[in-house]
Amino acid sequence: GQSLEQPSEVTAVEGAIVQINCTYQTSGFYGLSWYQQHDGGAPTFLSYNALDGLEETGRFSSFLSRSDSYGYLLLQELQMKDSASYFCAATGGGGNKLTFGTGTQLKVEL
Amino acid sequence: EAQVTQNPRYLITVTGKKLTVTCSQNMNHEYMSWYRQDPGLGLRQIYYSMNVEVTDKGDVPEGYKVSRKEKRNFPLILESPSPNQTSLYFCASSTWTGMNTGELFFGEGSRLTVL
């Protein structure tokens, strides 16, 4: 089976840095991706890690440690518009299956 | 504009009345998938399709059917809807390269209520 765990809610202030963690148990693991979803709208792809280390895309960075079955999404210079739900997702099962975590609701406050 | 289009966006129906949620993508993607989203449970995969006439069960397929007769379309069929199928449904698509990098393109969602 496949399962991913992430905190249900995180709160941070505008301008701060926040880290959203994800631990996974996935057979045939390929890589870990991150999605953002605003208010029940369409999830949008943010980043993907197949190898250990940090991937940076603007204010967002994502990290993976395959040996620890762990990854995180780092959001810097938080803005109010970053308030959303963030999902980690693991690609596994031969590369044709994407399993999502239960999501972390990020609230950015003034 | 590249997009995944779902219809209807909102639907209220009654138990047992067959319904179909359509999904169409204009990006020539091989891979298509249906997810349902429920509070506290994240996105759970219902069915997926690797290509035309190739479909397979996801994690929660009970009560659903799909078909993939054309590359661009992947309808979700609820033969006899029940209240526990009340949910927000998302269709998504990807290329093979996209699947290898975990990148799916999602539709705007279809909110279904079964009374």
Q: What pLDDT digit, counting tens, does each position of A24-50 carry?
A: 998 888 899 999 999 989 999 999 999
pLDDT attached to residue A84: 97
> Predicted confidence band at A93 (pLDDT cuts at 50, 70, 90)?
low
Q: At B28, is the secondary structure helix, strand, or coil?
A: coil
pLDDT at position A1, please? 66
Are B2 and B105 in contact by the 8 Å Cβ rule? The answer is yes
Give pLDDT, residue A37.
Answer: 97
Residue A95 has pLDDT above 70, yes or no: no
Asked whether the predicted pLDDT for residue B96 surpasses 80, the reply is: no
Q: With contact defined as beta carbons under 8 Å apart, do A48 and A61 qualify?
A: no
pLDDT band at A75 (very low <50, low <70, confident <90, very high): very high
Q: Could you tell me how many helices (H) and strands (E) chain A has, helices first?
A: 0, 11
A interface residues, B as partner, C-beta within 8 Å: 8, 30-33, 40-45, 48, 50, 87, 89, 91, 95-103
Determine which of A6, A36, A55, A96 to mutate to test the interface with B (most B C-beta atoms within 10 Å): A96
Encoded tokens for A97: 């299956």
Span B2-44, pLDDT tens digits: 899 999 999 999 999 999 999 999 999 999 999 999 998 899 9
CA distance A80 to chain B (A): 22
